[in-house]
Amino acid sequence: IEAAPGSDAAFVAGGGLQTLASGTRPESAAPAGGRLRLEAAAIDHGAVLELPSGSVALQARSGDLQLRSGAVVAVSGARTVLDGQSGVLAGGQAQLVATAGPLRAEAGSRLEALDGASLALQAGQGLTLQGLLAGDARSSLALDSGQA
Tell me what pLDDT residue 121 has: 97
CA 59 to chain CA centroid, nearest Å: 11
Give me the mean pLDDT over the 77-91 stretch: 78
Identity of residue 36: L
Give me the mean pLDDT over the 126-137 stretch: 94
* Chain segment 7-36, per-residue pLDDT in tens: 788 999 999 999 998 766 555 566 677 899
Residues 6+ apart with CB under 8 A from 41: 13, 14, 15, 16, 60, 61, 62, 63
CB 16 within 8 A of CB 41: yes
CB 132 within 8 A of CB 141: no
